[in-house]
Structure 1
């Protein structure tokens, strides 16, 4: 197979990380970079030896040599950039979160399916080979039947401006909460019958710290949390009927320790060495393109949609709506609400319940998956809008780390 020509939209930290990763992955070639600032695009292209640079997505998609586009812009720009790319025949790898809500995700995946294109989500922990190690340990029943899971991801990053900006879909959930949720999904599945979510708020009414509990049909429970104001060990723990297992760092797996019912460590597995951890998602995307697939097994389209509906429902529980969204979500009680008359309360509460029920039903029944069968959606691109030594042959291959390169993955969200 010849190399896949990749264009990167954005020139920030994640764009740089992917540019470094491309150098290490077989059949991957950095071909172009896009930034609303042409000079930044030029400098980025020069630094990472890209052949082309562009000042807008509209310009880039006219380049027939671009085969895959990696979108590393702020959350709120994912949808528009990806839509332009997909409508112009470009496969996409979109940074997490895939979009800011399920409605946008449905549209993008429908367009991709209708045009036989790949639209994948770059949530790196889904693609890491250590996921299979954890699943195999659960299947071995060494800890008995798994009954409960807990996971937390916390970083003191409140000073990052976009995290406190509603117009940029800020808050802890889309940046940090997605990791505990994906951790639970990978190990316990998605047959969730009840979701309870609450949070503390920033001054702009965004979630600052999240507390989420999931109840599964078979009785399992997952307790998840995220914070953008504190720090912790970011562990995950799975409790079973005969013991438990602890995962060090759910955002870049380091090791797994297994304990018996008396708390004695009976097994320890260290995660394999890696370049930076992002090589796995890129390798699987390239393998999918090589085999003519339009999704990755580690994070298929149905799972992307399921997770986006989950995020929508959780925001509804928290009473958080971004200013650019049309649909209203259930709001948290305020003093003004408490002063409503009884008829007003009943009417407004009924409306809130209807919104919550509709969102929950969509999530729990995966109605969004049907969009993949309904065709390509729009057929014409919108107006151009500017956006900002070693290889691996398979995700399971151990990667020797160049002493000049970092041994640990980028743990910044």
Structure 2
């Protein structure tokens, strides 16, 4: 939860750019200590430079008065606000505009769960052994119970993670059409005869929601398993990869415009096949690694949750995919697949991936003026956060763009470890231009 103040915002000229670029070109920016050291129509800003927010030819927004020192607002005189013309030589303050409590919008990661929907998820126990046709603890049941809970109330992990990330879920599979191989589809007809398919249907795009539990619960709770495991083709499809690794499908993950981190979580219990060759094979394994490597070039990290095959060959494959998912060499990298052996370990692994993907980045409802970012005041849970100046150690807060701040160092760690963290940002009058609705 983010706590944002509601103090009145400063106002600035409605059009025509800054007066410093027009009416007062060449006069702004000069060093000063008081208003009287600036040219007529300008005031001495908090950065100790002459400036102006308005001019007779460039009025303030909201009908506020432009004072004779180029501030938007009314003149205040009296104790604490000496008038420029008093006999005591008081310093001009001619207008006082309120500091701005800036609204903060957290940049949420997008996390796509890609779930193996093959028949082995029903035929084998979690993590190993024959499940006696999913009675009682096959991999499919355990995975669903972890994600959505045995019942919608209280629900599972996805309900706990609401508000932490924008989440999407896809189940992938294929069918070989062989009625005699003992791995027939359990999906209700009609299904789409395509490979890969997603809960029995052709790929129709992705949906991400910050509060995704109701949508995922309605889809996943009644879902059963299909036949086979075309992991490589499934990754290429959901990411929307072209043959050369570029963007081939505007509905895919790679084409999805996002300011936030994008993460793909692959949950699978066996080695992969290909469309048209559904048995595990070296080409099938290579196709997965290639797809994940190309996915990484689109700034999408891939994590592997391996909940089945424990053979040495499978272990090497899953580790290679995990390495590729983080941009490492598939053979020599040290990322490693995640192998939970209990339902709680599966919960912990998935939860860690999602929470670690969260950012410490926030969008502001305004534009901080160049060179004035250090004048901002940021607090986290009531404690001040220091400004992280360029070249300084990564500690405190920094301005990433004129409308985005980022917490770094211990401040970021505190934010991630605080379920109800309260972050505020305030900038003095003249340091930030509020966004104006069009």
Greater share of strand? 1
Structure with bigger gyration radius: 2
Task: Select the structure with the greater relative contact order (CA < 8 A; seq sep ≥ 6).
Answer: 1
Please say whether Structure 1 and Structure 2 have the same fold, judged by a TM-score greater than 0.5.
no
How high is the TM-score relative to the length of structure 2?
0.21
Greater share of helix? 1
How high is the TM-score relative to the length of structure 1?
0.22
